[in-house]
A and B are shown apart, each in its own frame.
Chain A
Amino acid sequence: MRTRYLAATVVTTTLALAACGGGGGAGTAPAPSITVTTPAPLTAPQSNASFPMTFTIPRGKPSAAARSPRFFSPSAQAIAIYDGTTLLYVANLALDSTPAFTTVFAKSGTTTVAFGTCSFTNATATCGFTVTTTIGAHTFDVIVYPTLQGPNSSPLPNAVGRTPLDTGTPPTFTGVISSEGELAVNLSPGTNPAQTLTLLGVADQLLFAGLSEGAFNSVTTYGYRIEDSTNSQIVQPGNAYDNGPVTITAAPAGIVTIAPNSIATPPATVGDQNFTVTCVNSAGGAVTISFNTRTTPNTAYASGLTYSTANYSGSTIQTIPFTCDAATATIPITVQGKKRT
């Protein structure tokens, strides 16, 4: 798993435990704080501890301000367009270059794609293209990849100088799909009204921050972000994950409860989300908290792609070890001694 550092501030954590599990290593950017609260311990002494935990997300972009962590990430490096099961067009993307795309494959014939321009801001990334095809019902699928496609299937430093493939040869796609979507339209002759296709991000990995140990009956709050395969947090406007919901489970059962334990909707904006872990077994114990997704899209897309771990997220996108301490007891002891005289 990639090494990440998620900033979190833990405040008002009162533990009666002899040892407290620490968070991750301190990072540089004190990103949004995460408050973890546990109930007061049964015994004194009490102590409050706070620590900043930060994470950084490595990106190809020089500036974090330029990142657009959306489901259609500006870190995306390739896009494929289908009409039903027919691959129409594949382009490698370099959104901060002009042109922003390099055609890898373009189907010829009655159905063609003319790729337009792409733009991105701090919050959005969009690309436009125009499909020319026959009138009638069509289902267009768009799939975004985190890596360049073509003979040089491994990610290249940039798309500059890359020789486009023969337009007659569809590439062998590589990389885990970062987002996809479908547009079903009944086309009229001529120029049809423009359509906007909102892609759904594929939950591929998860960043988290939080204590790894809790006392009996304590509530530990974790911060997390669900990302796609381009390392961008998946946010709205896509109102679902392509492989959602993301469920949070703990094994073995009976040691902790987790709330919420299912995340169906991406957040509206970039930032941490939270879930809590409550130790509910006085005997304590160690659990593995898992973040689970579907291994295929919720939607049966018309493209008819075959999904596997080679091109789609696995069933578990992150695990967190967590330990619950056994309940503690206080025993008042009075020691009587005889004063020497």
Chain B
Amino acid sequence: MRAFHLAVPLAITLALGACTSGGSGSGAPVAPIAAPFVSPTPTPPTVATFPLSLVIPTRIVSSAARSPRYVSQGTASFAVYDGTTLLFVGNYNQSANPQITTVFAKTGTTGVSGGSCTAAGTGSTCTVTIVTTPGAHSFDAVTYPVSEGQAATSVGRAPADIGTPPTFTGVILAEGELAVTLVAGTNPGQTVTTLGVADHAVFTNPVLTQHLNGNGALVGIIGTSYTFQYVINDAANFQIVQPPATYDNGPVTIAETDGGGIVTMTAISQVAPPAAAGPQSFSVTCAANGTATITAGAQNKPTATYASGLTYSASNYPTATIGTTTLQCVPNSATLPVTVQ
């Protein structure tokens, strides 16, 4: 697994330029934070400002010490949308100063006045201050495992103009939405809760001891139960753990998909990531002669319909199959040719 160590505090502060009162917030699919605000003054300002934050955990050298979160340690960039409007794209570098480099920041009536990161606990909190109109807004945050635009890790790519949205690369690590109704003036800050995108399942097969035909492949024996371990990782190869309580593209399913009934197992439909880092497990029992294919799957698009309206494809989102493993089962039978002399 790659050892990404990233701590990006992302705080997006929205400053509303117009003093229109807010509309209704868009549907917040997974962990929306509905934060309606009441105008405090009889003469409302024309704009609303809103600090929006995103906490990015620090990359830690030791895997044991890692604290995978719904915002991946592998986060290298993030984007903030207001509805379908891209407001901000920033690259994050934990060891840089400043940690956030603006790739794109929208200006105008709805724009971002700036972005910065500050250390916060085991990570960094990156905040952008959004200026927009009062009323209902749905702010989406999307994180990526690679830098966008002029990021150093984007080989050969010229830095993007701050006024030009980049062409995003990389499979989305996590995304989330915050539906709020803003009031004129400065609104309380909110932190976006993003959901990890299950990108691939890493299986650890059971330790088999029987070689077929003496020195052939390791196989399972019909009638014997075997335990597989697995972890569900994001595109940066970090395990997705709670919080929050769901995957962005969940549930993650694990089942035999060869159709041959080679093994018996209780199919898994895992809605919630594990509470703590570490492998999970399931058991199968060899039931017939053959090779069982066990497949981990997820949705190839978010369970929720985000306001950003992104188009999801294999280039920016996992496919439906996020991992497979196999187990060859053979009868509990051996033949031994013997020559007696």
Q: Inside 8 A of B41's CB, which chain A residues have their CB?
A: none
Report B192-238 residues with CB < 8 Å from chain A CB: 210-216, 219, 221
Closest chain B CB from A82 CB (angstroms): 12
Q: Would you call B334 an interface residue if the criterion is a C-beta within 8 Å of the partner chain's C-beta atoms?
A: yes
Q: Would you call B341 an interface residue if the criterion is a C-beta within 8 Å of the partner chain's C-beta atoms?
A: yes
Query: Which of B100-108, B159-167, B325-333 binds A?
Result: B325-333
Q: Would you call B156 an interface residue if the criterion is a C-beta within 8 Å of the partner chain's C-beta atoms?
A: no
Q: Would you call B340 an interface residue if the criterion is a C-beta within 8 Å of the partner chain's C-beta atoms?
A: yes
Q: Would you call A125 an interface residue if the criterion is a C-beta within 8 Å of the partner chain's C-beta atoms?
A: yes
Query: Of all chain A residues, which has the CB nearest B212?
Result: A190
Partner of B213, one of A129, A192, A196: A192
Number of A-B contacts (CB under 8 A): 111
Decide yes or no: A189 and B341 within 8 Å by CB, A135-B210, A135-B221 being known contacts: no
Task: State the main secondary structure of chain A at its contact with B.
Answer: strand
Q: Would you call A193 an interface residue if the criterion is a C-beta within 8 Å of the partner chain's C-beta atoms?
A: yes
Task: State the main secondary structure of chain B at its contact with A.
Answer: strand
In the assembled complex, the Cα of A185 lies from the Cα of B331 at a distance in Å of: 18
Closest chain A CB from B166 CB (angstroms): 55
Count residues of chain B with CB under 8 A from any CB of chain A. Answer: 21
Q: Would you call B97 an interface residue if the criterion is a C-beta within 8 Å of the partner chain's C-beta atoms?
A: no
Q: Would you call B338 an interface residue if the criterion is a C-beta within 8 Å of the partner chain's C-beta atoms?
A: yes
Decide yes or no: A195 and B212 within 8 Å by CB, A189-B219, A189-B221, A189-B330 being known contacts: no
Q: Would you call A153 an interface residue if the criterion is a C-beta within 8 Å of the partner chain's C-beta atoms?
A: no
B211 touches A188 (CB 8 A): yes
Query: Of all chain A residues, which has the CB nearest B211?
Result: A188
Q: Would you call B339 an interface residue if the criterion is a C-beta within 8 Å of the partner chain's C-beta atoms?
A: yes
Q: Would you call B337 an interface residue if the criterion is a C-beta within 8 Å of the partner chain's C-beta atoms?
A: yes
B335 touches A192 (CB 8 A): yes
Binary interface encoding of chain B residues 164-178 relative to chain A, with 1 for a CB under 8 A from any of its CBs, else 0: 000000000000000
Decide yes or no: A188 and B340 within 8 Å by CB, A134-B332, A135-B221 being known contacts: no
Closest chain B CB from A241 CB (angstroms): 16
A-B pairs, top 7 by smallest CB distance, nearest first, are: A187-B334, A190-B213, A194-B337, A189-B330, A190-B212, A126-B341, A192-B214
Q: What residues of chain A have their CB less than 8 Å away from a CB belonging to chain B?
A: 70, 72, 79, 110, 116, 124-135, 138, 140, 142, 181, 183, 185, 187-199, 237
| A-B CB contact pairs (8 Å), 30 listed | A70-B341, A72-B340, A79-B340, A110-B333, A124-B341, A126-B339, A126-B341, A128-B338, A129-B340, A131-B336, A132-B335, A132-B336, A133-B334, A134-B334, A135-B334, A188-B212, A188-B214, A188-B215, A190-B212, A190-B216, A191-B214, A191-B334, A191-B335, A192-B213, A192-B214, A192-B335, A192-B336, A193-B214, A197-B341, A198-B341
